[in-house]
Structure 1
Amino acid sequence: MRRISLLACGIRQSSSQIYIIPDTLVGVEGYRSYLVLGNAPEDAQEYSWHRGANDTEGNMIISYDSTSDSRQYGPMYSGREALSNAGNLLIIRAQLNDTGNYTVRVDAINGTQRATGWLKIQELEIPGISVNTSSVVEDMESVAAVCDTNATNVTWYVDYIPVSSNSRMTVSPDGKTLIIQRFSHSDKPLQFGPYYVLLWTNPNDFNGVLSAEIGSQVEMECVSYSRPESKYRWMHNGSLLSFSEKNITLLNLTWDQMGRYRCIGENPVTQLTFYQEVQVQAPCHIGVHDLRPGGQDQMGKEVRDPIGAG
C-alpha cells in the first residue's frame, strides 16, 4: 500500500488566526482535493485563493465576495477550481502540477489575515504481484510472491489479515517479497480484490453528477484492481444493461440515455463486489467548468455556488 506524505507550512499563531486544516493537504492524482479554511472570522467579506506563498493579483486563482455574492477568476484559474461561500477551495481531478504552496487571504471588517499551506499531489500507484510458480504441491513446496512497487512501506495480507514473519511466512526486509512455506490452498495469495471501483467520466462529473448536452458524447470507464481480473456489469436507472465491458461511450446523448449509471466490479473467485454511480443529466444546474460570475444556465437562472454555502 502506498502511503501519501504531507508537508504543511503556516502555523496557527493564536486562537483568532486563520489556518488551512493540515489533513486536507493530502492529494492523489485524479481525485478531488479540498483545502479547508479553519477559524475564519464571522465578519469575513472576501476570500481569495492564490498559487504560491503570497497573495498578489498575478497568482490569484479565485475569490469570493460575500457582500455581492460574486466570484472573480484570476490568472491561475485552470477551470478545475471552485470556491465555497465558507472560503474552502476545491480542486477537481487534481494533477501532479497542482503541487505547491497555496495562500488564502480573508478580508474582514476587522482586518485582513493570510495563511499558506503546501499541497502535495502524488500518483495513485496500483502495485503488481508476480510469483515464482503457477502450480505447487500442497503442503510440500513454497511460493515466493513479489510486489512490484516503488513504495517504501509495503504490507501483505492473506485473507485480509496482515502478514508478519512466522514459521510458515517470511517477509523480506524491504517488505516487497513474501515467501510462504508449505503452501496450502487456504493461503490463496493469487486471489484478491477488488478493493474499490473508480468511475472516470468525460465530461468530468461533479459530486457524482455529470452535466452533458443532448447530442454530445459521454464517456464512462470503470477501473478496479483484483486477481483474477474483475468482471464488469452496468445498470441504467435500475435496469441491467447487456454491456459487460469496462468502458461505455454514448456517442450522441439522447433524453432516454439520461439518468443514473452504476458500474459494478466483481471478482468471481473472491465473490467481492464494489460499485460506483454517476447521474447523467442536462446542464440545468451549471457545472464548475462553465462557472462564471453573472452567468446563466439553460433555464435563464443566475449561476450559484456549486459547493453550496459550506
Structure 2
Amino acid sequence: MDFSRPRCSPWRELVLVASLLACGIFQTSGQVSIVPFIGLEGYRSFLDLENIPEDAQEYSWHRGVNDSEGSMIVSYKPPSNSWQSGPMFSGRENVTTEGRLRIKNSMLNDTGNYTVRVDVSSGTHRATSWLEIREKESNPGISTNTTSVVEYMDSVAAFCHTNATTVTWYVNGIQVSSNDLMTISPDGKTLVILKVNRYDVILQCALENILGYLQKSAQIFLTVAYGPDSVWLRSDPSNFNGVLSAELGSKVEMKCTSTAFPEPKHRWIHNGSLLSVSEANITLPSLTWEQMGRYRCIVENPVAQLTMYRDVRIQRNPEYIPIDKRDFYISGSLVVVLIVMTVLGGIYFCGILVYVIISHFSRTNRAI
C-alpha cells in the first residue's frame, strides 16, 4: 500500500547528514531523488524516486550512503525485465518497474540510509535518503461495565484502553458518534449507550496509527433480553377474532408464539383455572363438553420482566344446534327447511280462511 509522504523533521545528531539528504538539501533540481518515508513495523514500506530519466537502463539499490558492490540489495534492468539480488538482500525487498524499492513486512532494523544508482545512456545518477521504521502500536483493549442488559431499561458503558488521542467507536461494525441514544466522552475513550436495544450487540473501538490505518480492539458481545413484543395464538381449526368453532369429539390444537429472548415461560388458564401445561402448545385429541370455554395463553419473560397474553374461546360449531343434552342434533339446513314450511303453511291457512269468509258473505247477499 502506498503511504503519504511524511514531512521532513530533525533527526538525531548521529543521522544529521542523512536527514539533510532526506529533505533534499543536497539534491540539485532535476537530479534523481528519493522520497523520504516513515514506515511501521510489520507493514510494507516504499522508497519512491523523483525525476526519473526516461532512458533508465538499471536501478541499483544499496544499503548505506554509497553504491558499493558489497552494499547492494537488489538491482533491476527495465529493458530486459531482469533483476539481481546483492549481499544485503533479505528476501523481503523488490524493485518495481518504476524503480521504487519495496520492502515487505518492515522491521525495526530496516531503519537507515538507502542509496540508489540509476544508470542511463549518458551516465549515472545517485541519490541517498533515510528510511525510518517505527514500532507498531499494540491494538487497544476494551472492557464494559456489564454484558447482560435488558432492552430499553439498562445502559452500558464501554472503555477503550489506549494511550492514543484519536479513538473511534463501532457498534455492529458501523462507526458511531454521540447522539440521542449514545454518548462518547471528550477524550473518546468511553462510550455510553443510554438505552440498549436488541440490535446493540457488538462493541469495538479502534485507534489510528501513524500511517492512517485503523487498529481495532477485540469485539465485545452484549446479551440483550427483550420481549415478548406481542403474542399470537394460532389454532387448528383456525380461530376468527378469538373464537374457535369445533365439533365435539374433534381434535383441537392451539399454539402460542411470541418474539422474546431468552426463551419465555408459558402458562395456560382455562375458564379461570390454571392448567398444568407449561408448554407453548396445547392439543385436545377429542374435544369434550368440559373442554369448551375460554383459554388464555400467558407468555412471561422473567429477565425482561414483561408479560403478555392472548385469549381464545372454544365453542360448538354453529352449523349444529343441540335439541337436548343427548348427542342428538338438527342440522342448520334442516332448520331452514322447517322454517320455510311453517311460513308456507301459515300462508296457505290464511288463504283458506279468507276464501271461506268471502264465500259466506256471497251466499248471504244472494239470499237477501
Length-normalised TM-score, structure 1: 0.49
Q: Taking structure 2 as the reference length, what is the TM-score of the superposition?
A: 0.43
Who wins on radius of gyration, i.e. which is larger?
2
More helix by share: 2
